[in-house]
Structure formats: C-alpha cells, structure tokens
Amino acid sequence: MLALTICICQNRHEVMIPTTQLNKENDTHSSHLLGLNDLNNNPNTLFDFWQSLIDNLVISRLFDTQINNHALIKKMTDEQGGYNKLLSEYKEKLGKVFYYNTNNYPSDIQGDLKGNVFYAQHSIIPAINRIDDDIQPHLVSGRKTLVIFKPHEKIKENEQLNIKVYNEDNEKIYSTYLLPPSKLPKIAGTEQRFTRLTPDDFTIPKSFDFTINASKKIKELTESTNYLNQLMTENDIIRVDIDAENLSINLDSLKKRPNKKLILNLVDNIDANIKYRNNSIPLSAQQSFVMISDETGRWFTRDESRLSFHYQQALNIDKYKTPETFDVEFTTNDDINHISKNPKLFQDIIKKNDTIKIATRDYHWAKDFIIPNSKQYANKKILFTSQAYFNSDVTYGDNEVRITTGETKLFISDDEGVWSIYSPDTQSTVNYALPQSFDIKINKNKELQKISKDICYFNEVINNNDNIHIATRNANWARHFTLETHPNFKNKKIYFSSEADYDSHVFYGDQKITIRKGDSQLFVCDEFGFWRTYEGEPLINDDSDEIRYIENGWSVAIPAEYIKPKIRLEFDYHGKQGTLSDIYVGAPTELLLHTIDIGMLTPYRGELAFQKNAELQRQYFQQIPINRLIVSHYAPIHLKEIVLPSGKHLTHRSDDDGGGHNGDMREQISKDLISDGINLANYGVHSSATKENNYLPTAQITIHNSRGIYKNGLQEHGWSGGAGKATLYNSVDNEFSHELGHNYKIGHYFKGFKGGVHATPDKPNSTWGWDADNNFFIPNFEKKKTNKYTVLDARDPNAEKAEPYMQHAMLKDAMSGGELYDKAYNAYTLHTPTTAQAIQHFFENSAIFSKTSSTGYQKWDPNTQTMQEYLPPHAKNISFVDVPIVDNQDVTETTLSALLNKNHHIKIESYNSHYPPNIYLPQADHSNKNKVIEIDCTSQWSIKLHVNGNKQIISHNTKVYYISNGDSWEPSSELTFIQKPVKQGVPVVTLVGFYDPQNQLKSYIYPALEGSYGMVYNNDTIDTTKPYLAVTLRNGEVKQYQLDQHRFISQLMNKFHINIERRLEPVKAELYVKGQRVSSQHIELTDQPLPTTINGIIQS
C-alpha cells in the first residue's frame, strides 16, 4: 500500500506544516505523464488530493516502484557491507589486518568522552595537528565531509555513538549517528563487490527485447551515451552483434539501470572492449559475452557473480561455525542461575560480549533462559551445551526450544539482532580418493573448447556425471576451465591431466591452479558445493594484507550544507559528551576549467580525454581542496590558416622549429591567443598585448591539446602550465596534476623532501585521499610491494629517504615527480598536505564569479570568514592617455572632458617643472561612467583637487585613481575593474584574432570558438575613429565592442577576445580600424553537444 505525506517544511529542524491548498498552476507535462489529467477538478483539501492519489493506480504504482527500489538498494548495500565485514573479520583472524595510523595522542575533544577526530574532504585532515612542523589544509565550506572519531574507550559495534553539529549561534543544525569501525571506508579496490546475481543468471536467452546489428547503429552505440541510455530505458534484454574492429562500449557512462542484460556477440574475428566500474575487458573473436546489472544498477560479469556467490557461501559457513574461544563462559551453578533468574543481567552480558558459552551439567543447571531480539544484540553467538539430567528451555525472540541431555545448540543473531538456531558443525562425509573409473573422459579439442568457453554447458556435463576426466595434449587443449560453486555438485569429482606443451588454468573458488605438462589434479566438490583439492582446504584464500586507516574509527559523512565557518561538533555516547570547537572552515572556493583541442595547419588530435570523460573531471575534483569544479567544453578547432601577431600569414607550415615546448604557433596561437583569449573574454577585457597575460583575478584556467605543422614536421605540444593555461600532451595522469599545480603558483619540488614526499602518520606530511562519491580511501603509498625507499631525486646519493610502509614505497607529490596509487580509481595525483595547503591558499586568494554580487565577483575575507563582494584589479597593459601639463597652470574641466570623450583612461602626472596647482574634474554623469582618471603626484608641492563639489589635497608621492560611477567620482588606491558580466555561465561564441591600431599589419579574425560556459558583457557605445569589432546577429542586430587604440608592443598587433552569447546566433564578425573595415569572418556554428560539468556531473 502506498503511503504518502505531503508537507511544507517551514523550519527543517522543528516544524512540519501540512498544506491545505493545492497550487492551481498545473504542470501539463507532469499531469500527462502521471495520469493526473483527471485530477484537474481542483480538489481543495489534502483529503481530496489524497483520495485522488489513492484512486489513481498509475501514481500508486509509480510511487510503490520508487519506494521499493530505494528500499531494495538500501538492503543490497547493507548486505554488501555485512559480507565485507565478515571478510575483514576472517582476515583479522588470520592476522592479515593492519592499521596505518597508530598514533596515540591526547583527546581532541573537551568533556568526559575522550577521543581523536579527523576530517576527510579531498584528503584526511587531523582536527588538531599534533606533529611539529606539519602543514595541513583546513576544511572547505560547503563540501561533503567525512568525520572520523576514534574514541579512547572501546565501544561495541552494535552500540550507538551520536554526533551533532551546531552553528555559530549555538543552534543544532544536524544530528545523526556514526557508523561503526567495520564501515570505515576501505582502500580503493580492496572491498569485494557482492551481488545477489548467481552464475545461473548469465545464461543467454532465446529471445531479446532489442537487437543491434547494423554498423551505423553499433557506431552510435559506442559514441553516444544517450542512445544506449534510451535503449536501456525501453528494453531489458539487448543483444549487440559487433562486426567492426576495436569498438569500445562504456557502461560507466550510463545511468543506473537495474535488472538489465546486455549480450555482446562478436563475429568475424573482431576484437572489442567493454568498460565498466573502472575495469576494461578485452573481448576476443567468436565470443558471446554477457553483462547484467543487478537490483542496484551495478554491472557484473559472470565470473564476478561466481566469485561473489562463492564468497557469500563461504562466509556464511564461517559465520555459522562454533567459535573456538568465547568472550565469556558460564559453567558453575551460581553463574548459570544468575543469568537465568535475572534477564536484565543476561541481556547486559549479551550486549557487552560477542560470543558466550553456557554449559550445563548435573548440579550446575537452570531451567529457563530468555534471549530477546534487539538491534543491540546484532551479530552475536551463544552456544548452549547440556550434560545435565534435566532439560533447559530457551526462549529466543518469539520462539522456544528445549535443550536435552547431550544436545548442543548454537544461537546466532543477524544484523538486526534476530536470533536463529544452527546445528553444530558436522563431520564431512566426502571421499577425496581418486575414483577407480570415470563416467566420461573429455579429451577431444572440440569438446575441450566447448566446456572451456561455455560454462553453462560445462555445468550440464558436471550435473550429469559424477566422475569426469579432462585430459589435454597437443592439438587437443584449452587454456581456461572454470568450476563454479554449486550445492547440486556435492560429491562430484573432476580429474585434470595434461600431456600438452601449453599450460591450462583451472579457476575454482577464489583460486587458480595451473596444470602443466605431466601434471594432474583431482577436484572434489564437498557437501556444501565447494570445489577443493584436499579435505579442509580453506574456502577463502585471499591472504593479502588488509590495511585500514585507523583502528576503532567511527565515521559519518556530514552533508555539504552543514559545513560552514564557526561550526562545532558534539559527540555523545551513553550520556558521555565531548565537544570539538574552534573548527576552522575556509572559503567555498571554485575552479573554472575550459577545455579545447587545437590543430594548427593540421587536424586536431582528438585525444583530450579529460574533456570527453566526465568521470575524469569528477576524479580530479576529488583531489583538490575546492567547493566547485566547473569544466566547460569548447568545440575542437582545425585552423587551416594562421596569422601571427607579426602579420606573418601561414597556410602550409610554420617556418619555426616546433616541439613539446617549442614553436611559434604553440606560443602565440594555442597559448596566447586562444587560451588567454578565452580567459580574458570572460573578464570582459576586449583587447590586450600579445606575449603577456598576468591578469588572473579568479581561478580560471584554459587547458588544451595542440599540435601543428612546422618546418621539422608535425609536432605535438605539451608539458607546460602556468598563468591561467596548461598545454597538455596527456590530460590523464601526473602531467595534468603537475601543470595545473603551476597554475596554482606551485613550483617544482615544492618545499623539498618535506613537501614533496608522502609520509607515514607519525611524521609531517601524511594523509590519504578520500573519494566522497564512492566512499573509498586512496593511500599515499604505491599499490605494489617493491620494498623501495622513496627519494626526491634519485640522482643524489645522499638524498633523504622515506622508508616503505609494509614494503609499499611512499608516493610523491605531483610537483615532485608524482605517481598514482591506481589509475583505475583516480587518474590524478594525490597531493601531499603541504602542497594541498598551498593550493588552498591560492584558491582562497582568488576571487570567484558570482551572479548574486553587484560587482559580478566575490572573494573570501578571512577576518569575517565570509564571502564578500569584490572589485578585481584592472587588467595590465591598459593604455592611459597623458593629459598635457603646462608647469604651474591648472588642469581644467574642459580639458579633461574633451579627453574623456575619446578615451577610457587618462593620466595626470605631476612632477617638478611639470606641476598643476589645481585639477578640476568634470561632473560625473552617464557620458563618463566607468571611465578612469589616474593622478600621480611626485612633485614637491601638493595639488588641490576639485571633485564632487569638494576640495581635496593630493600630497607628494601619492597615486590615486578616480572612477566615475555616473553620479560621482570614486577614489581608489588601485585601479579596479568595474565591468560586470550581464550573464554568467551561459553557452558562448568566443571571437579572437589580431588587429593593428596603426593599420600597417594585416588584421585577422579567426574562426569562431564555441564554448559551453562563459560570461558575456554589454556591448559598447563606440568611437568609430578607434578600433572596434562589429558582430552581426541572425536577427540583423549589430553589437559593437571598442578595442584599444594603441599598440601595446611596438612591432606587433594587439589581440582581441570577446564573448557573444550563443543563444543570440552571431553570423558575422567585422574588424574596423580608423573607420575602415580591415577583416571579416563568417561565423558557422555547429549543432554538436557541448556539455558543462560541475564536480563531474553533467549539467542539463
């Protein structure tokens, strides 16, 4: 039955008020979709509306499906967590669990509850830094945060430890409970993925909902996420016949679609590749491969489901085993009767102990025992044994059982604390001897290949035969055989023997055995369906070390909206409390990355992976201390002709030598014109000097792949970053992290060994990364065991060394030759805390674009710990027109007005023998709004300034700017930029090129650049005697933009860069110098989708 409550939340933490009136504005699309058209009789009360919902089966079914799916996903997640907990406990018994952070420090919190606190955002940060000379970043406002609390006392997994968040007004804004240590995030890739899917689910059906076998559709399938998403929405079983070479299907790009089956059928010796969950599986010719999404929408292969099923069955058997030792035992008459007659005492004992044994015998006995169901008794074991003459009765939950003389009963509680009885362990009756004869011998190549490639068929053979001999030899051989765990195979035997020169591999359970020439091996299936090579062989053989971050670490993820400056945390356990105050939370910083692929006199490479893959963008966000990562997508551009700022025109090749770091087109076109141009257009700076851009008020970077034809041939550029741009050969791996690091003003080998090499937690510069979306840790050491020391510079024989941790070499920061832990889980480098803190400093000293600010910008004020409106400094290379000065004569209002009519920036410079006693500024009005007057007084005598109806004194050695706001002249000690974007974050057309204010060199407008995200500004009221760009829109309207009238560099043209909103559909751009049109360019826009992502999420 569907249950639905409709409320208006007036105060999210206190009051829920039901609404009594429906909104009369109907959503036609939603009404049609949900079948609401019959509800448009305007029911006026909640009762009427509720009754209509009940009567509408479409809505009921829709809500029921959504609720059931949500509940099922939660249940599956809990199941997976439960099995991983069992797997960890199993490893712990083997002594294979180790804790990375074993520091023991005084309590970080104040109160009678003691413990240490850590945060994790992009990386783990100690709440209180207790290591001398250690440098750590602080929290970022508005970012999801994992809180880890290590209490100084042992708290049982099934007990409750609470956390509350208070704001600066001491108001509770959030509260929840922490998850027990078994649910602390694990290292990426170490958590076994469990599913309810079994190998039997992977049989190929006889019919399909949809089949793709046309080459055009197969290509669309591999190139368009939307196409495959649509197919998955409409169909449950899809078959794809692949007949094109080297195709790749990426299931990671799909929305979560539960209970879908994808059959890939390869024909005609074709190879293909399927990507999912950070894995990549090559598929060989003549093979049908099945992928299934389970109830949670996660994709699995048959082999993964086989391993999951095996582990689940093996862990359940281990879970239900009788413990070898017990936390507490009751064997004497007094003790047994105490827990029998005092149920509360018994319940308290159950709560505090995981394994309990009660052994009765004559004269040491009690009649009744009560074991209630309760969440607080989850995952406990109680063993009852009886050698007493009299029976004992045990009530467990709502059930009762009698234990008679000689009986043993094991009571086990599940994750919810519900008790069940399991029989004690029984002795195996399986015979492990080699059979005297076999029901079937498989030794022909055709049959060997069939049981190797078709597991369903192999299982049929096993099911129909008790004893099987598989014999290989040259020309009659197969590489792989898989024995699946199945209870129907009890007591089956398979004997492998080999006379082949090639090895064969047998997969069973979580193991692999290689059968070489002359080898033989018997496999026997036990009473539970597990294949073993000898009696007692372990069912779980993964003996790799499990490294966890910290022992006894309770944790919970606090939603982003509650991470604000001046919060405090309060921990609570059984009435004990501990408070963490003085938590420094920094700015909600942002990074804007533009991406573009450039080909100069040659097609672009098409290999800018970061641009194409939102997952890579998400991964990079996880590695840096910011609140928001915005990634814009520019369409790739093939420039078939090149004009350099010197006026040189290229059509076939450059006369320069090119290389990774060399080439005139690399420097002057891909970096200076396009990358700097994109950035400056977003600031509303219409023109600038070539070869220079230090205008970086925000964290805005344009990254590009570029290549060009030079006199030494085709050259690809890369390995360069800084000043708001990055030229990348590879946009994945350390090159990306490194070159962006330069943009954060971080140099090579930053802070030397202590800053560039990761460390263990007992030393400065230690952390792990945290992926907040997937909830796993990324350690700061290598994945493989090499037992190598880490040095900053291997060429230095006396270099300081970092010892390996358990044979894992420590990693290095991106700026110091960085390495990755595992590219499959994050393709970018984990920064050391020292570098992360410097990166955070860069971001907090950068402004952000802001739609809500009257200036268009905001910047962090560390004193108030708030974002404040901000006026960025003016771009450099602004040309000021000098006001003519006659010594000891005043500068008049008439003189200044005439200059301001033709110029945006004028300068009055006073020095000895060049001194005006008085300066009269004209009245501020709309004609001089946003215009600037610079007054620079180095003369011995002060100047009287007449401004806004008042007199002011400009003293010796004073420089001041006066900026008109249209009503008054406002003084400023620095030249600020008051051009405010009229729109932010909209699709844009960026126009770039070169122009010569002297009209001696040939100006040129480059083909338009199309971007998904940018800032646009009002067009100008122009002076046609000065250079300007005119842009014609499809509707015939013309927008004009003034350009600077002076050459910034004497022998070179200036560059221009202007954003036009894409929605306006510009069709032509024209350059005018001295009233003459000097260049024009038709604008041809494409229809290709250009997505923008925020934190790796594609924006609609």
Give the catalytic positions in this structure: 739
> Residue 711: what residue type?
K
How many CA atoms lie less than 13 Å away from 1002 in the CB half-sphere? 9
**Residue 213 token pair:** 């076998």
Task: Single out the residue of 821, 811, 671, 658 nearest to residue 739, CA to CA.
Answer: 671
> Residue 134: what residue type?
D
DSSP 965-1021: -SSSEEEESS-B-----SEEEEEEEEEEEEE-TTS-S--EEPPPEEEEEEEE-PPP-
**Residue 862 token pair:** 């560390």
Q: Taking a C-beta distance cutoff of 8 angstroms, is the pair 367, 340 a contact?
A: yes
**Residue 624 token pair:** 């840096």
Q: What is the 3-state secondary structure (H, E, C) of 1017-1050?
A: CCCCCCCCCCCEEEEEECCCCEEEEECCCCCCCC
Q: What is the 3-state secondary structure (H, E, C) of 66-104?
A: HHHHHHHHHHHHHHHHHHHHHHHHHHHHCCCEEEEECCC
Q: Taking a C-beta distance cutoff of 8 angstroms, is the pair 525, 500 a contact?
A: no
Task: Single out the residue of 591, 560, 587 nearest to residue 1095, CA to CA.
Answer: 591
- Bridge partners of 382, per DSSP, are 356, 411
Instruction: Give CA separation, 221 vs 216, 226, 241, in Å.
Output: 9, 9, 12
Chain mean position to CA 584: 24
Q: Which residues of 321-351 are buried (b: 16+ CB within 10 A; e: fewer)?
A: eeeeebeeebeeeeebeebbeeeeebbebbe
* CA 555 – CA 401 distance, rounded (Å): 39
* CA 1082 – CA 1031 distance, rounded (Å): 10
Chain mean position to CA 118: 20
Task: Single out the residue of 1061, 979, 1056 nearest to residue 1014, CA to CA.
Answer: 1061
* CA 330 – CA 860 distance, rounded (Å): 64
Residues for the chain: how many in total? 1100
Number of neighbours of residue 225 by Cβ within 10 angstroms: 16
Q: Taking a C-beta distance cutoff of 8 angstroms, is the pair 1079, 1004 a contact?
A: yes
DSSP 152: S
Distance linking the first and last C-alpha atoms of the chain? 34
Which pairing describes strands 554-558 and 520-525: parallel, antiparallel, or unpaired? unpaired
Answer yes or no: is 748 a known binding residue. yes
* CA 621 – CA 457 distance, rounded (Å): 47
CA angle 40, 44, 49 (to 5 degrees): 65
**Residue 257 token pair:** 């679609």
Expressed in percent and rounded to 5, the helix, strand and coil fractions of the chain are 20, 35, 45
> Residue 796: what residue type?
D
Number of neighbours of residue 22 by Cβ within 10 angstroms: 17
Q: Taking a C-beta distance cutoff of 8 angstroms, is the pair 930, 1017 a contact?
A: no
* CA 164 – CA 569 distance, rounded (Å): 6
Q: Which residues are annotated as a binding site?
A: 738, 742, 748
Q: Which residues are annotated as a binding site for Zn(2+)?
A: 738, 742, 748
